[in-house]
Structure 1
Amino acid sequence: MSTTESPPPPVPADVIKSSGSERPQSARAIVWFRRRAAFGAFCRSYAKHTSGVIGLVVLLAIILATVLAPLYTDRADLNAATAPGGRMESPSGEFWLGTDRTGRPILTMIVWGARVSLQIGLTAAVIAVAFGTVVGMVAAHYGGWLSWLLMRVTDWFIVLPAFILSIALVVALGSASKWVIITAIALNSWATTARLVRAQTLSIEGRPYLERTRALGAGDWHQMTRHVLPNLMPLVLASATLRVSAAILSEASLAFIGLGDPRSFSWGIILARAQAEGAVSYGAWWYVLPPGLAILALVLSFTLIGRTMESVLNPRLRDDR
């Protein structure tokens, strides 16, 4: 993905202060006005993409259902010793999505499990994208042997089978706790971002205004944080959104094969328990289908949002017709 500079929006009259001659009231006021204008333009462009709007609505619905979970579910029902339902009850007016083998409501498990799946997906994606961004920027900015070394390590992580590497990392790091799974997924998914960021950083640092900045004596930190990173943000945001869906699928896959946190109720753990309790042979479709559809809906929503952000923020993919 590459970005091109567009002319800044005009400064409104209320940002101009007259004192003998017209001049900006403050540089901060102009910066914030331009940021608001850019955000407004982004929202208008995003709203033109039906798929992106659908993905955003689905994601907000899942987040709202998760945040409001204490209002319509009781977390105590997740305790098998106090589960209110009977074993493997089919959906009814009392238990909308049925119960599991110990009488726990499937709806309660899915709603509270969404918190775990979202936490793991978002945290792993943020760590992976942040680490990949730093590696890519450093490799592009300094070049030389450091760039060669960082890119060889990046290539090594790219060519390794992702799921096999995640399994190996979870086993090597010991207990399959939530943070061990997050660490394993993050270490497995930063390399692609590093490659993309390095290519984009090389393009940005070849622009004339970066050459002028260096000529005026700006240091490495100033160049990367004040000029390179802001231009990288569209790429970083789109990459982070797509990484979330991949992290959620990775967690569900690890949990399904028995490498999830047994103390949590992530959607992958629910599917693993359904398999262990013989839900398929019992014909308890309500134990398997709802968590699977929940994973599909969440992953699809992040994918649609990420693709739409990529289309809006990348001038080569933008459709202004």
Structure 2
Amino acid sequence: MSVSEYTLKGIFKELMRYKSALVGLAILVFLVALSLYALIFTPYAQAGEIWNDQNRWLAYPRNAAPEWYNFFSSKKLPPSILIGEGLPNHKSEEAEREGHRVITYLDSFTYNYDDFPSELVLLINTTYSGSPPTVKVYWVKPSGEELNLSVYRPRNISESIYISNNLILERDLEEYAIDKLGFTPNYTITIPVALFMEYKGEPTVMKGNYTVRIEVTLYNRSDTFSYRLLMHGKVYGIAGTDIYRRPLEIGLIWGAPIALSFGIVASVTITFANLILAAISGYYGGKIDSLIQRLTEIYMIIPFVPFIVTISILYGLDIWRLLLIVIILSILGTPVKTYRVWVMQLKTSPYVEAAIAYGASNLRIIALYILPRILPPVVPSLVLSIPSYVFLEAALAILGLSDPKVVSWGRIIEESFAGGAVYKGYYHWVLIPSAMLILTAISFALIGLALDRIVNPRLREM
């Protein structure tokens, strides 16, 4: 590639010839699109606040695997199932008993999965004057047997009743199931298990059509009532959920702009700072060169990661102050010495001597004759260094040193370890954000290696 081709247009045109670069660019476009989507639809200042608000995620299942897990498993896990008013297979009848309105709701659904739901939640919206409505819930299994799920008296206009957390009901259903089995099984009979089980030695799901009957007594003509019954499943979305019920795909989307901005800003700023300092050191020489080289050597012996960890622990830095510290600790390093050698070689070249002869200033020579010549070989190393800063941010987050107000892939991994994801079998919680980090590294690695072949003639000949 000739010197005249060392332009943005020329490099990009040459880059399109490499299939590996096209793959890397495709991945990068995907990550950029993900970042733009996150920034447009959720302001940066609100993302962390929403992510940390556990009340926002109560409608989602806890520790659910991704839905695509069922394609690779012989055991078909259930998704969340929602029944109730305004949904298919819903019926209601109203009658009057003892001067009160009694509404009977019937909801039916088909259950053909190999595992039990995780939770049952009754979502109630009601208005009343005087006495609150009386809500009786009955469960009819495909075998025809009917189970009484207790009586509830909602006290609030909007209320979530966790049926699966009713300890008295759980004890009653366990006794009923043991009586039907004729022995005490060696597994725990929770409310979801009791409602969906076949009475066999092993916990087996009874597949078929289920019916939920709800009888509501309203004590005044003006009272209103509506409900939905949510059966939390064990698979959800494309990335699953965590122990706090948060859909991981949302965290992955919000983490994309953090990862890209941290890596790109750090890499570009540090590379250009190294380049400028190396140009000044190599061109001017003398005391300036000696000062910059001694400072560089001091920086090279500073333990980088322990130093950042210490600062983060002592001062609790946010993500952008942490980025600033990383830049400050990296502006003088090994690349300064490498670039300095290149500058010293160019300093004696004929076109630089000609520029000096016609009176060009030192600043002009550095800016227009030296830096443009050494910039093309620097670009590949700039691109290849971006993943290292992305991984640095993730590593600090895994160590518990991340900004608690920021949603990042590293923080998701740290929370997964804190929540026992590995030994409890919630592998998606660890593997998917880790895969995003690896995907980012692959993207920049493929682009950087292709750029290196373009600007390095020896690699192009291999």
TM-score using structure 2 length: 0.58
Task: Tell me the equivalent position of 2:267.
Answer: 125
Structure 2: distance between partners of 1:250 and 1:195: 23
Structure 2: distance between partners of 1:207 and 1:180: 42
Is the contact made by 1:88 and 1:103 (CA closer than 8 Å) also made in structure 2? yes
Counterpart of 1:211, as a letter, is E
Q: 1:186 to 1:223 in 2, by over 3 A?
A: same
Q: Is 2:21 the counterpart of 1:52?
A: yes
Residues 140-182 of structure 1 show CA distances to partners (whole Å, capped at 9, x for unaligned) of: 011112212211221232344432233234346x222112221
| Aligned with 1:88 (options 63, 67, 76) | 63
Task: Tell me the equivalent position of 2:347.
Answer: 205
Structure 1: distance between partners of 2:3 and 2:434: 46
Q: 1:147 to 1:118 in 2, by over 3 A?
A: same
Task: Tell me the equivalent position of 2:436.
Answer: 294
Structure 1: distance between partners of 2:238 and 2:347: 57
Task: Tell me the equivalent position of 2:239.
Answer: 97
Task: Tell me the equivalent position of 2:391.
Answer: 249
Counterpart of 1:91, as a letter, is P
Is the contact made by 1:91 and 1:97 (CA closer than 8 Å) also made in structure 2? yes
Structure 2: distance between partners of 1:97 and 1:151: 49
Q: 1:42 to 1:298 in 2, by over 3 A?
A: same
Q: Is 2:200 the counterpart of 1:225?
A: no
Which moved further from structure 2: 160-169 or 46-55? Answer: 160-169
Task: Tell me the equivalent position of 2:169.
Answer: none
Q: 1:207 to 1:70 in 2, by over 3 A?
A: closer
Task: Tell me the equivalent position of 1:150.
Answer: 292
Counterpart of 1:295, as a letter, is L
Counterpart of 2:34, as a letter, is A
How far the C-alpha of 1:7 sits from its partner, in A, is 6.2
Q: Is 2:143 the counterpart of 1:168?
A: no
Q: Is 2:446 the counterpart of 1:304?
A: yes
Which moved further from structure 2: 180-189 or 265-274? Answer: 180-189
Counterpart of 1:111, as a letter, is I
Structure 1: distance between partners of 2:344 and 2:62: 60
How far the C-alpha of 1:122 sits from its partner, in A, is 1.3
Structure 2: distance between partners of 1:317 and 1:128: 26
Task: Tell me the equivalent position of 1:189.
Answer: 330
Give me the CA root mean square deviation: 2.5
How far the C-alpha of 1:261 sits from its partner, in A, is 0.8
- Report how many residues are paired: 288
Q: 1:208 to 1:71 in 2, by over 3 A?
A: closer
How far the C-alpha of 1:69 sits from its partner, in A, is 4.1
Structure 2: distance between partners of 1:312 and 1:7: 12
Structure 1: distance between partners of 2:449 and 2:311: 29
Higher gyration radius (CA): 2
Structure 2: distance between partners of 1:205 and 1:53: 37
How far the C-alpha of 1:136 sits from its partner, in A, is 0.6
Residues 219-265 of structure 1 show CA distances to partners (whole Å, capped at 9, x for unaligned) of: 11111111112112213322321221111111111111011111111
Residues 100-136 of structure 1 show CA distances to partners (whole Å, capped at 9, x for unaligned) of: 1111100110111111111111111122112211211
The structure where helix makes up a greater share of residues is 1
Structure 2: distance between partners of 1:55 and 1:295: 14
Q: 1:188 to 1:300 in 2, by over 3 A?
A: farther
Q: Is 2:204 the counterpart of 1:62?
A: no
Is the contact made by 1:98 and 1:105 (CA closer than 8 Å) also made in structure 2? yes
| SS, match of residue 459 in structure 2 | coil
Counterpart of 1:65, as a letter, is L
Structure 2: distance between partners of 1:138 and 1:240: 20
Structure 2 unaligned segments of length 5 or more: list them.
Answer: 68-78, 80-235
| SS, match of residue 54 in structure 1 | helix
Is the contact made by 1:165 and 1:188 (CA closer than 8 Å) also made in structure 2? no
Task: Tell me the equivalent position of 1:43.
Answer: 12
Structure 2: distance between partners of 1:306 and 1:198: 22
Structure 1 unaligned segments of length 5 or more: list them.
Answer: 9-33
Task: Tell me the equivalent position of 1:106.
Answer: 248
Residues 36-73 of structure 1 show CA distances to partners (whole Å, capped at 9, x for unaligned) of: xx444323322232222221211111112222347899
Structure 2: distance between partners of 1:233 and 1:208: 19
The structure where strand makes up a greater share of residues is 2
Structure 2: distance between partners of 1:176 and 1:229: 34
User: Percent of pairs identical after alignment?
Assistant: 26
Which moved further from structure 2: 53-62 or 84-93? Answer: 84-93
Counterpart of 1:97, as a letter, is A
Structure 2: distance between partners of 1:7 and 1:44: 15
Structure 2: distance between partners of 1:295 and 1:7: 35
How far the C-alpha of 1:198 sits from its partner, in A, is 1.2
Structure 2: distance between partners of 1:77 and 1:258: 20
